[in-house]
């Protein structure tokens, strides 16, 4: 059974792996024996995260802005200097923007859609040749998109572009799953609330209310997200593609607890 869930020796890319959910995923993959390539926009964040994560295994980090197609291509080239094959791509880097309806800026839409939707598409197509090469009979390569429960629920806050972008990620997941099967399996994870920089202000102010909305009465922990990614990346999930897995303490599936 351990072999069924093993990702030992696999090569994984985690975009936005320098903090938050991406860091949690990178740490989990490293502890499970994978070699990990992380990225974010800031070179100093990349260096620091690579240093810290280096305690758990082999890490490479590259500073690229994945909201631009040209930088997605450059990240692929950075990775290609180290390897010909990638087994697991975790499209995690994401951004949000909140503003009242009347004031919602076009720049907010561009920032969110360029990274959350186009970035996922571009990274997947640019890494496709490496993912194809890593695929083995009975063990296809994997793309795991980090969506959000906000794709299917109305968010508590006016993040109009964000919720729309994550609904787009869910459908892009299905479309890519159809396109890339059987060599590459494509699934998404829809996290509920995790305490990261993106959620810091909201959870600091409304933490109690938000925790009470989940059926398990808490926010997500690193093992919650790492465990879901490791399952989807392992041989145990070779019959799963085009799925969106909520990792949210039941928030989106059972409705708010009362
Ligand atoms: N936290 C939650 O409760 C929650 C819930 C549902 C879904 N999610 C999703 O989970 C993912 C991670 O969120 P998080 O909460 O961990 O957010 P976070 O703490 O803000 O981390 C975002 C990561 O993405 C990187 N990033 C941001 N803009 C980028 C760009 N243009 N190009 C490349 N990298 C970029 C950031 O580094 P730099 O700033 O250095 O670029 C950072 O490493 C996102 O897709 C988010 O939508 C989060």
Strand partners, 139: 136
Q: Identify which of 53, 14, 22, 37 has the alpha carbon closest to the alpha carbon of residue 143.
A: 14
Q: What average pLDDT score do residues 127-148 get? A: 97
Q: Are strands 35-40 and 59-63 parallel, antiparallel or unpaired?
A: parallel
48-62, 183-197, 201-215: range with lowest mean pLDDT = 201-215
Q: Which atom of ligand 1 is nearest the CA belonging to 18?
A: 43
Instruction: Quote the percentage of the chain above a pLDDT of 90.
Output: 97
Q: Identify which of 11, 219, 241 has the alpha carbon closest to the alpha carbon of residue 134.
A: 11
Q: Could you give the domains of the chain?
A: 11-249 (3.40.50.720)
Per-chain mean pLDDT for the chain: 97
Cα distance between residue 18 and residue 30, in whole Å: 14
67 lines ligand 1 (CB under 6 A): yes
Query: Measured between alpha carbons, how far is residue 186 from residues 8, 81, 209, 246 in Å?
Result: 20, 25, 34, 15
In this predicted structure, the answer to whether residue 195 has a pLDDT above a threshold of 70 is yes
191 lines ligand 1 (CB under 6 A): yes
Quote the ligand 1 centre to 116 CA distance (angstroms): 9
* pLDDT confidence of residue 255: 78
Q: What average pLDDT score do residues 79-92 get? A: 98
Query: How would residue 165 be classed by pLDDT, with cut points 50, 70 and 90?
Result: very high
């Amino acid at each position: 059974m351990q072999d069924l869930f093993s990702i030992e020796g696999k090569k994984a890319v985690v975009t936005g792996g320098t903090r938050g959910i991406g860091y949690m995923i990178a740490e989990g993959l490293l502890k499970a024996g994978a070699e990990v390539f992380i990225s974010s926009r800031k070179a100093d964040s990349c260096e620091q995260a690579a240093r810290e994560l280096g305690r758990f295994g082999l890490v490479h980090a590259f500073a690229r802005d994945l909201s631009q197609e040209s930088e997605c291509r450059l990240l692929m080239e950075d990775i290609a200097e180290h390897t010909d094959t990638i087994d697991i791509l975790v499209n995690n880097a994401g951004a949000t923007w909140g503003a009242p309806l009347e004031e919602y800026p076009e720049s907010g839409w561009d920032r969110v859609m360029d990274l959350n939707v186009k970035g996922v598409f571009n990274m997947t197509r640019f890494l496709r040749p490496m993912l194809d090469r890593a695929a083995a009979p009975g063990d296809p390569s994997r793309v795991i998109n980090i969506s959000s429960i906000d794709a299917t629920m109305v968010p508590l806050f006016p993040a109009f572009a964000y919720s729309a972008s994550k609904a787009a990620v869910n459908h892009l997941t299905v479309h890519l799953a159809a396109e890339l099967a059987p060599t590459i399996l494509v699934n998404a994870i829809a996290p509920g609330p995790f305490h990261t920089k993106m959620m810091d202000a909201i959870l600091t102010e409304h933490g109690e209310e938000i925790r009470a909305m989940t059926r398990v009465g808490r926010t997500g922990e690193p093992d919650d997200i790492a465990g879901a990614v490791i399952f989807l990346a392992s041989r145990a999930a070779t019959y799963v593609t085009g799925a969106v897995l909520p990792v949210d303490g039941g928030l989106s599936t059972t409705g708010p607890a009362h």
